[in-house]
Amino acid sequence: MSHSLTIAGDFLGLLQTHGVSPVKVESSAAAPIQTHATTVFAFHCADGVLMAGDRRATAGNIIVTDRVDKIIEIDSTSLLAIAGVPATAFEMARTLQTSFEYYRRSQLQPLSLPARVRALARLLRENLPMTLQGVGVVVPLFAGVDQTVSPAQPRIYFYDPLGAQFQAVGYAASGSGSGTIRSVLSFEENYGKPKPSQMKIKDAVRFALRCLMTASEFDSATGGVNPAGDTFATLKLLTANGIETISEAKQKEFLAA
């Protein structure tokens, strides 16, 4: 592929040449109280990668809502889980959606998984001024399908607030409840029968919901999963064939089984 075609397919580069920033950042001495979204995690199961998020958003000690969807479909083989400031994270998600689609249409092929992973890292780096001020911080998770192996395999990646990217071998978590969830995932992957990586979708969904309910016992910012009140998590399964959303009805059925 020629250099000109590479530039033509680079949506973020195109914005830069026109002096446009997808995530506008300006310094401010007085920042408002921010809304934060937590908690999200992803793990490999027998059917693919299950990505989960609670539905609570907070501002300080105030619960803003228990109906936030923190797992976003970027394209047919990519998922983004947001932890941090939703306003910034949602803007990053919209930019990625446009960027991936722009590349697909202009280059007549989808963007590779490494390029998609780096695109999110680039947005996080461009958000650095807001991160250093302690406002607009986003610490996301990303899952995508690697088409370079046969059969194609879903992968999990996690980031730090400055844009460093890491591939997760089995699982990753982010947000205020992530410490509890990582501990549970680690214990179950080492000693569980079956391990999370061996669970079929029904058991994986039940396990993910119980992880979130456990995290909410120790973290007031994690919530929105209340089977008694018919409120559940956002759960999406990524496989080599695409994305499946686990409906609240299915979550209720699997949890009760």
Residue 38 bears catalytic tag: yes
Q: Are 64 and 36 in contact (CB under 8 A)?
A: no
How is residue 117 written in tokens? 């992973």
Q: Which residues pair with 237 in a beta bridge?
A: 50, 244
Active-site residue (options: 17, 35, 38, 222):
38
Give a three-class secondary structure readout of the chain.
CCHHHHHHCCHHHHHHHCCCCCCCCCCCCCCCCCCEECCEEEEEECCEEEEEECCCEEECCEEEECCCCCEEEEECCEEEECCECHHHHHHHHHHHHHHHHHHHHHHCCCCCHHHHHHHHHHHHHHCHHHHHHCCCCECCEEEEEECCCCCCEEEEEEECCCCCEEEECCEEEECCCHHHHHHHHHHHHHHCCCCHHHCCHHHHHHHHHHHHHHHHHHCCCCCCCEHHHCECCEEEEEECCEEEEECHHHHHHHHHC
Neighbour tally for 200: CB within 10 Å: 11
Angle at 208 between CA 207 and CA 213, to 5 degrees: 95
Where in the sequence numbering do the catalytic residues fall? 38
